[in-house]
Amino acid sequence: MPALLLPDTSGLPRTFTLSRPAGYPQQAEGPFNRVAYSAAHVVADPLSPADPWITAAIDWDTTIAYRKRLWDLGLGVAEAMDTAQRGMGLDWPTSLELIRRSLDAAKDHPGALVASGCGTDHLVPSVTLRLDDVIAAYESQMEAIEALGGRLILMASRALAASARSPDDYARVYDRLLTQAREPVVIHWLGDMFDPALAGYWGHADPMAAMEVAIDILNRHASKIDGVKISLLDKDKEILMRRRLASGVRMYTGDDFNFAELIAGDEKGYSDALLGIFDAIAPAASAALAALARGDVSRFHQILGPTVPLSRHIFCAPTRFYKTGVVFMAWLNGHQDHFIMVGGQQSARNVLHLCELFRLADAAGLLEDPGLAAARMTHLLATQGLDAKAAR
């Protein structure tokens, strides 16, 4: 197996020999007994003349090809979410084009699941915004997505967080939106570790008090709710909340630290999945979910267990930079030809972080072509003035 000189967590070079990949299938091995969405990343166009800090230039062919891979693996696509750098480089017009292209591509994959992020990111958050401005912004995006035949994920709104004065303001906005939705929606509660601008969402700084507001809204509109995705990185809060949801309302785990345990569930229930980490570990996620559906819980944990340390590293603080690790994995595995991101966010993580990610991905058996991964890691280290070839 290939080897390279890889800096350890203190920066000291160590010889690292790659392991054999796990060799998970690239097609779903059977139906799942959990609904599973992968929040998919976008592939930047590195040869665009646009300024990458200002304009989101997308390689559409490669971006859509990655979604086809996810569908082949039996995973749904949660489109134009934060994993796709929504509101963090990807603007609303480009997001709508992404949604349109994804829905069109899904027509060639019978049974492919697509749910699309709907928000208010074309508004500039301000305390001078009125709630009616926030509602109108949501409605504009709802109408555009539904006109394409898309199903909605109502994303948390920075504009609402900035303009709301009480929990009642959140209730007013969501009451209005949910009465209008054509099909049941997914509500996304994104914690401030992912987006600091969402601190105090639902009208409370205390997550438990915020949960009370969210549960009340969800259960009052249960017929219009497919499920709720919470991204708080706290399994106890997720379990508590899912046990209080009205019948038929799914809990979609957004906990990239404890997802395996939460998907497996307990005697009182389980979580479905809508996860950014599934983008990076898609073949393992597919194989594990197929095993779970067969009743082989031991195999489910055997597959996903080694991916949890990788996920916790990718999503470590500052958590909002996790997208760099997701794209890095796609590049290492040959699903795109470069490690360039919208907004230049390939620079959001330091090289020691990426070296540790490389080691953890190898330990999880997720480097599908070790020779290619080693060559690309060597190339990256060379750009940092490091000679990884010295181990050979």
Residue predicted with more confidence, 127 or 154: 154
The pair of structure tokens assigned to 118 is 């709907």
> Could you tell me which residues come within 8 angstroms of residue 354 by beta carbon, excluding any fewer than 6 positions away?
325, 328, 380
Helix (H) or strand (E) holding 76: strand 76-79
Query: Residue 305 half-sphere exposure, CB side, CA atoms within 13 Å?
Result: 7
Query: Residue 307 half-sphere exposure, CB side, CA atoms within 13 Å?
Result: 30
pLDDT at 390: 60
In this structure, which amino acid lies at residue 327?
V
The pair of structure tokens assigned to 109 is 């994959």
Residue 306 pLDDT exceeds 60:
yes
Residue 388 pLDDT exceeds 80:
no
pLDDT at 216: 98
In the block, residue with structure tokens 């492919």:
112
| For residues 252-266, average pLDDT | 97
| For residues 67-74, average pLDDT | 98
> Could you tell me which residues come within 8 angstroms of residue 130 by beta carbon, excluding any fewer than 6 positions away?
163
| For residues 115-124, average pLDDT | 96
Cα–Cα distance between 345 and 377 in angstroms, integer? 18
Cα–Cα distance between 206 and 114 in angstroms, integer? 33
pLDDT at 53: 87
| For residues 116-122, average pLDDT | 97
Report pTM: 0.96
* Average predicted confidence (pLDDT) for the chain: 96
| For residues 13-34, average pLDDT | 96
Helix (H) or strand (E) holding 185: strand 185-190
> Could you tell me which residues come within 8 angstroms of residue 54 by beta carbon, excluding any fewer than 6 positions away?
none
Residue 389 pLDDT exceeds 90:
no
* pLDDT more than 70, % of the chain: 99
Q: In 3-state terms, the chain is what percent helix, strand and coil (to 5)? A: 50, 15, 40
Vertex 98, ends 79 and 60: CA angle to 5°? 120
> What confidence tens digit (pLDDT) does each residue in 271-288 have?
999 999 999 999 999 999
- C-alpha distance across the termini of the chain, in Å: 11
* Dihedrals phi, psi of 65, to nearest 5 degrees: -60, -35
Residue 343 pLDDT exceeds 70:
yes
Topology of domain 31-305, CATH: TIM Barrel (3.20.20)
Residue 126 pLDDT exceeds 90:
no
pLDDT at 212: 98
> Could you tell me which residues come within 8 angstroms of residue 75 by beta carbon, excluding any fewer than 6 positions away?
36, 37, 38, 113, 278, 282, 285, 286
Please say whether the beta carbons of 264 and 301 come within 8 A. yes
User: CA torsion 307→308→312→314, rounded to 10°?
Assistant: 10
pLDDT at 54: 87
* Dihedrals phi, psi of 307, to nearest 5 degrees: -85, -20
Vertex 271, ends 208 and 196: CA angle to 5°? 45
User: CA torsion 181→187→193→196, rounded to 10°?
Assistant: 20
* Dihedrals phi, psi of 78, to nearest 5 degrees: -90, 105
